[in-house]
Each structure stands twice: as C-alpha cells, then as structure tokens.
Amino acid sequence: MRAQPKASHFIDGAHVEDENGTPFESIHPATGEVIARLHAATPAIIDRALAAATAAQADWAARAPVERGRILHRAATLMRARNRDLSVLETLDTGKPLQETLVADAASGADALEYFAGFAPTVTGQTIALGGDMAYTLREALGVCAGIGAWNYPMQIACWKAAPALAFGNAVVFKPSELTPLSALALAEILAEAGLPAGLFNVVQGAGAVGSALVGDPRVAKVSLTGSVPTGRKVYAQAAQGIKAATMELGGKSPLIVFDDADPDNAVGAAMLGNFYSSGQICSNGTRVFVQRGLRDAFLDRLAERTATITLGDPLDEATQMGPLVSHAQMERVLGYIAQGRAEGARLVCGGTRVGESGAFVAPTVFADVTDDMVIAREEIFGPVMTVLDFDGEEEVIARANATEFGLSAGVFTRDIARAHRVVARLQVGTCWINAYNLTPVEMPFGGVKASGVGRENGHAALEHYTRIKSVYLGMGDVDAPY
C-alpha cells in the first residue's frame, strides 16, 4: 500500500521538495504500514510559500467575485468526480472506514467549495446616510491566511478553511496535521486544475514548529486552527502578539441529554453516532451522555445490543463500520483512559479492550454509572469511549452539562419541544442539536464557546472571519474648519 505524493509540499502552483527538512512518515494505522515518506518544511520552504501567497493575493482579490466562484465550483465538481480516489487516500491516511470517507470527507469539502462559490458574488457593503454627507463600507479580503489542520477530518478541514478564504479574495498557506499530510496535497492539485492561479493555495508539511513559524510571520494576516485546546492556547497567544485575526476550532466534552420521553432508539442511535463514528475522533462528539433515570436501563440494554453489532476491521472494506484510531499513540492514550475509568469505579458495559495485535483498533466502549468528577467524564478522550451518566431533573442536568471548561456542542433528545428549546437556550455551547446529533451542513455556522474556541466556520458567519470592513466617509460639501 503506497500513497506517495509527488513531493511533500505544494507551492506557487507546483509540487516542491526540500530534502533538508526533517523526514517523517505517513502510516496506515490499520496495519502499521508506511504509505508515504515526506519532509517537514524548512524555513526556506515556509518563506517560499508565504512569498508566493503574498504575491498572488492582491490580483485575486481584485477579480470579480463571480469569477472566483466559478473556479471554486469547478474544483467542487472535480472533487465529486474523484470522490472514490480521495476517499481511499483519506482512509489510508486516517484509518477511517471507506464507508465513512465516501460520504463524509471529500463530499463535505465539495459542499464547502460550492457554498462559498455561490456566496462570494452576494457579498455587499452598506451605504450610510449622514444627512448630506454619506459613508459606505467595503468588505475586503484579509490577505494571507494560515490554516492549520487536525488529523480527524483532513480534507474537510482544509476545505472548510480554504473555501471561504479563497472565495472572499484571500490566499492560503495550509499546514495539515503531520499524521495526515496527504489529502491537502490532493486538494491543491484539484484547485490548480480548476484554474486557481498559482500561489493562492499552498501546502507546507510539518509538525507544530512549522505551524508556529506561519503564525509568527508578519505576512500572515489571519490564523485558523483546528486542534486541541492546549494547542489553541499557544496559537491564539502567538496570533495575539501580531494582533492577527484568529479562528480557533478546538476540543470538547459535549453533553448529549436524553430525557425519558425521548424515542429510545433514536437517542441510542445518536449516542452511538456521537461516540463511535470515526472511531470517536470527532471534536463535537457527545461523550457525556446524560440519561434520565426512568429511561436508563432500557437505554443501556439497547445500546449494548446495538454496539455488539458494529463491524470493526479493515477500513478499506466497504462493509466495515469502524476502523482503527489514527495512530498507535492515540490508541495507547485511549486505552489509558479506559484503564482510568475502570480504576475510578465506572461500570464497563461493553468494549474496553484493544482489538487485534497490529492495528490501532479499540473496541467501541461504554461506561455506565459515571459521575461528573471522574477523569473519563471531564477530559476529551478522542476515541470510541462513551460515558453514560444518570440524571433526575432538567435544572440539574443543565447545570451539570455546563460544568466544564469546554463549550463546543450539545444534544437534547425529548418529545417535549418546548423543553428542548428551553434547554438549548441555557446550554453554554456553540452548536446544539435537537433530536439529532453531529450533523454539520455547510449552511450552518459551526464553532465553540469557552475553551472550545473563538470564531465560526461555515454559513454566513464565515464572512466575518475571512473579510474585514473598510469604512469610507464621503464629504459632499465644504470642509468646516474652525481656524
């Protein structure tokens, strides 16, 4: 199994290699096989990427928005046409099952390209009457945007950042996670083929030091990170040093609240999706499942029954429903949390073990009788580990759901629609689902509050984060100077 790209980086419309960079490998986590060998960006590579982006941006911003949109539309069409190849690549790099990558990765990226392609020509400013004089506003591109990605949805993350940035006239230098370097390069090729001028979408590889070099460079106007809270604290602080715009899409420990009048099968299905999809490696997962006491036993029985049917195995087999974790290191972290959950006295309902000996597989795991103070209920595990907590009343569960440093998302399952709205209004999160979970259409803004982040991706909200307003005052009469 090889997925060797033509070169490590993509700069100014071309594949670029610099063998002086630290070598690193991309590993297929289902088998441990090396699928590609790359080099991290050297300072010279980072400089080339930023110089290319800076040189290309002004002309791009000056083009008609409809023209920018046309190119992004073409890219979306190419992505859809190559969905299978892109999905295989993503499956090799991340270990996520093909059954998922075929519908959730390049497809979601193409949605973003299409959405922002259509959005770009609709952007307008304001005119402001001032009683004689007047003012108007212009929406301007920010300049060069640095995108830094996590490893769980590499293609989607690259597109969710590149599509709005490019649509509104910016240039992008994107650094994928060092664990999943490949699909961003495929995106760069597609954008180039669609007609995107050279220099507007560049990919540089490497770990945190490369990301930090981008964030610290004065040529970068905006930073958008998808990653963990500890990384977010560092990147946000560094961006602040340069007074740069910043979007931080960070981690979570989101509550999924199931009232006892909920449809039990839908609630169980949502809890499974919100804990086991992508082997649990989703930022918005509802990993604290609060189940009202009256429904608890039936919920756990049905959950154990359905979890037992999950097909875990070779992610390239389309019948497989669950693949490995992204890496063996991540598997060890997750197994460490499982051991801690047992030691803390949580009741293991199912799973709890590694599966097989070579791949980074962990069985879908459910803990019941979990209390709020347990580490498994407080920290983001980022693996297929669900914690089920009991609750009695609405006030109680709202307070407990909010008692966390995170605030990414939340779900509420109930047939009482007034209660659903009442509860979501009081949850301290960026995204809520009522009788659904983890659906993130590009039309809907997405992002976190509290430690889970600042800024929003997708929807109309993205305009605020990839453009700035210039105000223009227009004097219509004589200048009234008192001297």
Residues 280 and 53: their CA atoms lie apart, in Å, by 36
The smaller minimum CB distance to ligand NAD, of residues 235 and 442, is found at 235
Which of 24, 115, 259, 382 binds ligand NAD (CB under 6 A)? It is: 382
Which of 11/61 has CB closer to ligand NAD? Answer: 11
Other beta carbons within 10 Å of 434: 16
Question: Of residues 249, 253, 380, 450, which has the active-site annotation?
Answer: 249
- Residue 104 is a binding residue for ligand NAD (CB under 6 A): no
Q: Which residues, numbered 164-193, are part of the site for ligand NAD (CB under 6 A)?
A: 175, 177-178
Residue nearest to ligand NAD (CB): 211
Using rule CB under 6 A, residue 152 touches ligand NAD: yes
156 binds ligand NAD (CB under 6 A): no
Enumerate residues 235-274 that contact ligand NAD by CB under 6 A. 235, 249-252
Q: Is 30 helix (H, G, I), strand (E, B) or coil?
A: coil
Residue 161 annotated among the catalytic residues of the structure: yes
Q: Based on the shown chain and the rule CB under 6 A, indicate whether residue 207 belongs to the binding site for ligand NAD.
A: yes
- Write down the least CB distance from residue 408 to ligand NAD, Å: 6
**24 lines the binding site for ligand NAD (CB under 6 A):** no
By CB under 6 A, residue 458 contacts ligand NAD: no
Cβ nearer to ligand NAD, comparing 22 with 77: 22
What pairs with residue 27 in β-bridges?
A: 34
Q: Which is nearer to ligand NAD, 382 or 413 (CB)?
A: 382
Both tokens of residue 46?
């980072």
For ligand NAD, the closer of residues 252 and 352 by Cβ is 252
Write the CB contacts of 82 (distance below 8 Å, at least 6 apart in sequence): 106, 190
Q: Based on the residue annotation, tell me whether 283 is a catalytic residue of this protein.
A: yes
Q: Which is nearer to ligand NAD, 170 or 287 (CB)?
A: 287
C-alpha of 230 from chain center: 16
Token digits of residue 119: 């959005």
Shortest spacing between CB 403 and ligand NAD, in angstroms? 19
Q: How far is CA 217 from CA 134, 209, 309, in A?
A: 38, 12, 50
Straight-line distance from the first to the last Cα atom of the chain, in angstroms, rounded to the nearest whole number = 80
One-letter amino acid for residue 70 of the chain: R
- CB nearer to ligand NAD: give 313 or 453: 453
Task: Pick one of 21, 97, 154, 227: the residue that binds ligand NAD (CB under 6 A).
Answer: 227
* Residue 153: how many other CB atoms lie within 10 Å: 27
Residues 6+ apart with CB under 8 A from 162: 147, 172, 174, 187, 191, 201
Kindly determine how many residues on this chain lie close enough to bind ligand NAD according to the rule CB under 6 A: 30
Q: Across-strand partners of 256?
A: 289, 411
| Nearest CA-CA partner of 323 in 98, 103, 105 | 98
| CA gap 392, 255 in Å, rounded | 15
DSSP 83-146: HHHHHHHHHHHH---HHHHHHHTHHHHHHHHHHHHHHGGG----EEEETTEEEEEEEEE-SEEE
Question: Is 115 a residue that touches ligand NAD (CB under 6 A)?
Answer: no
Q: One of 90, 145, 159, 161 is an active-site residue; which one?
A: 161
Which pair of structure tokens corresponds to residue 354?
Answer: 């590694």
**Least distance to ligand NAD, CB of residue 293, Å:** 30
Alpha-carbon distances of 309 from 302, 346, 364, rounded to whole Å: 11, 23, 10
The correct pick among 31, 57, 91, 226 for binding ligand NAD (CB under 6 A) is 226
* 224 bridge partner residues: 147, 247
41 is an interface residue for ligand NAD by CB under 6 A: no
Closest contact distance (angstroms) between CB of 58 and ligand NAD is 26
Region of residue 148 (phi > 0: left; psi between -120 and 50: alpha; otherwise: beta): beta
Report DSSP letters for 340-357, one per residue. HHHHTTPEEEE--SEESS
Catalytic residue among 145, 159, 283, 432: 283
Q: Among this protein's residues, is 350 annotated catalytic?
A: no
List binders of ligand NAD among 132-151 (CB under 6 A). Answer: 148-151
- Cβ 409 to ligand NAD, closest distance in Å? 9
Smallest distance from ligand NAD to CB 383, Å = 11
Nearer to ligand NAD, 170 or 247 (CB): 247
Name residue 128's beta-bridge partners.
135
Could you list the active site residues? 161, 249, 283, 457
Residues that bind ligand NAD in the complex, under the rule CB under 6 A:
148-152, 175, 177-178, 207-208, 211-212, 215, 225-228, 231, 234-235, 249-252, 283, 380, 382, 408, 448, 453
